[in-house]
Amino acid sequence: MTFEWPRLLWLLTLVPLLGVAWLRLMHMRAALSARHAGLRRDGGPGTAPAWPRLRRHLPAALLLGAVTLTIIGTARPRATIVLPSQQQTILLAIDVSLSMRARDVEPNRMTAAKAAARAFVEELPRGIRTGIVAFAGNATLVQKPTLNREEVLAAIERLEMQRGTATGSALVVALATLFPDHGIDIESMLFGAGARGAPRESGERGKAAPRKAFTPVEPGSYTSAAIILLSDGRRTSGVDPAIAARMAAERGVRVHTVGIGTVAGGEVDFGGMSMYMRLDEEALKAMAQTTLGDYAYAGTAADLRKVYQGLGSRLALDSATTEISFLFAALAALLALAAAGLSLWWRHRIL
C-alpha cells in the first residue's frame, strides 16, 4: 500500500497522546470520586470489576481507532487490486515458417504450438474476442477477432507452413486489425518501402503519407486488446520487428512474445539439406520490452502449454492501483458510531 500524501501520516503520533490524555482524564475523575464519596458509583479504587472497567475504556478505544483510520484515509492510501480484465480482444500471431517442423519440441514445434493455442483459446473467458494472424514470409489475418470459439479453433487447425519469417509484419497486420481507423497502409509496409524498414502510413497509394489519425499514448496503456506472438526463428523478411514494436507501443498495445524451441536450435530438412534453426530470443525480448509486454521461453510442449495458461490467467484478470480512502473513511465512521452508541447505552452520555 502506498500513499499520495504520506507526510500527513505524522499526525498518527497524536493518537498515543490522545490515549494518554484519556487515561489522565480517567485518573482525574477517579481522584475526584475518591475525594467526594457521594459521587462514587463503584467500590473504590482498584475494586472495579473487569466488565465495568471495560465499559469505561472501550468507547474511547473505538474512538481512537476511528481517529487513526481517519488520519490514514486523509493520506490517500492506494492499493493494487485484481479485477476482471477490460481486455476485449486478443490476437494470436503464430509463426508458420518451415522451421516450425523442427523436432526439438515433441512431436514438432508446429504441432505443439497448435495444441497449446487450442487449449489457450478454449480456456479464455467467453467475453474475449480472439483472432489469428499467421506469418511466414508474409503475414495474414486468417481469422478476424470473434467470440465464436469454433471458428478460431478451425483457423488454428488450418494453419500451413511456408517459407520465411516476417515477425514484424505479423505485428503490423495485428495492429491494422485492432485499429482500422488509424490509416495503417499494410500493402505499402509489407511490400513497399516499409518492408525495408521505413514504414509508411496510408494516403495515396505509392506515396508516403505523414502519420495521422491517432495520437501516440503511453506504452502499455491500451487495455482493450493485447497481442501474443509465438515464433521460433530469426526474422528473414518483412517489416523490421523493432519498428513494428514501436508502432504497437505508440498505440499502447502490449505484445507478449513466446519463444518456442531449444536455444541451440533444431534440425530442419530443406529439400534434402539439413539446417539448424536457432531461436532469436533477443528480438522477441526486445519486442516485449518495447511494448511493456512479457517474454516467455518454451523449450518443450509442456512448457508452451504452461506459458499459454499463465498468459490466459493474466489476460483474464487485471491488476489496477486505486485509491482506497473511502474504505478507511467508512471504517472510521463505523467505529465512531459504535463508540458513541456504546457510551450512550452504558453511561447515558458520550464518553
pLDDT in tens, 263-285: 665 555 555 545 555 677 888 99
Q: Is the pLDDT of residue 197 over 80?
A: no
Question: What CATH number is attached to the domain comprising 204?
Answer: 3.40.50.410
Residue 225 belongs to a domain:
yes
Model pLDDT, residue 194? 42
Q: Is the pLDDT of residue 199 over 70?
A: no
Contact between 105 and 301 under an 8 Å Cβ cutoff? The reply is yes
Average pLDDT score over residue span 167-195:
83
- DSSP-derived 3-state class of residue 277: strand
Which of 187-196, 295-304, 324-333 comes out lowest in average pLDDT?
187-196
Residue 293 belongs to a domain:
yes
Q: How confident is the model at residue 168 (pLDDT cuts 50, 70, 90)?
A: very high
Higher pLDDT, 284 or 15: 284
Contact between 294 and 288 under an 8 Å Cβ cutoff? The reply is yes
Model pLDDT, residue 44? 45
Which of 93-97, 232-236, 296-300, 310-314 comes out lowest in average pLDDT?
310-314
- Rounded Cα distance between 166 and 104, Å, is 22
Model pLDDT, residue 319? 56
Model pLDDT, residue 157? 94
Regarding whether 233 and 145 lie in a shared domain, the answer is yes
> Number of folded domains in the chain?
2
Regarding whether 147 and 65 lie in a shared domain, the answer is no
Residue 68 belongs to a domain:
yes
Residue 316 belongs to a domain:
no
Model pLDDT, residue 269? 57
pLDDT, tens only, 22-55: 777 777 766 766 666 554 544 444 444 555 666 6
pLDDT, tens only, 53-77: 666 667 778 888 888 888 888 888 8
% of the chain exceeding 70 in pLDDT: 74
- DSSP-derived 3-state class of residue 233: coil
Model pLDDT, residue 230? 92
Model pLDDT, residue 6? 84
Higher pLDDT, 44 or 332: 332
Higher pLDDT, 208 or 157: 157
Residue 305 belongs to a domain:
no
The pTM score is 0.62
Widest Cα–Cα separation across the chain:
112
Residue 210 belongs to a domain:
yes
Contact between 228 and 311 under an 8 Å Cβ cutoff? The reply is yes
How far CA 320 is from CA of 223, 290, 291, 294, in Å, comes to 11, 21, 18, 17
Q: What is the mean pLDDT of the chain?
A: 79
Burial class (CB in 10 A: 0-12, 13-18, 19+), 167: buried
Residue 312 belongs to a domain:
no
Q: Is the pLDDT of residue 202 over 50?
A: no
Model pLDDT, residue 18? 81
Regarding whether 209 and 267 lie in a shared domain, the answer is yes
Regarding whether 341 and 214 lie in a shared domain, the answer is no
Regarding whether 198 and 116 lie in a shared domain, the answer is yes
Burial class (CB in 10 A: 0-12, 13-18, 19+), 259: buried
Average pLDDT score over residue span 292-301:
86
Model pLDDT, residue 38? 54
Model pLDDT, residue 198? 41
Model pLDDT, residue 49? 53
pLDDT, tens only, 91-113: 999 999 988 888 878 888 899 89
Residue 308 belongs to a domain:
no
Which of 194-198, 219-223, 228-232 comes out lowest in average pLDDT?
194-198
Higher pLDDT, 309 or 110: 110
- Rounded Cα distance between 113 and 119, Å, is 10
Regarding whether 271 and 184 lie in a shared domain, the answer is yes
Regarding whether 165 and 261 lie in a shared domain, the answer is yes
Domain that holds residue 238: 85-299
Regarding whether 21 and 89 lie in a shared domain, the answer is no
Pairing of strands 273-277, 225-231: unpaired
Regarding whether 89 and 65 lie in a shared domain, the answer is no
Higher pLDDT, 318 or 179: 179
Regarding whether 289 and 150 lie in a shared domain, the answer is yes
Regarding whether 112 and 37 lie in a shared domain, the answer is no
Regarding whether 233 and 197 lie in a shared domain, the answer is yes
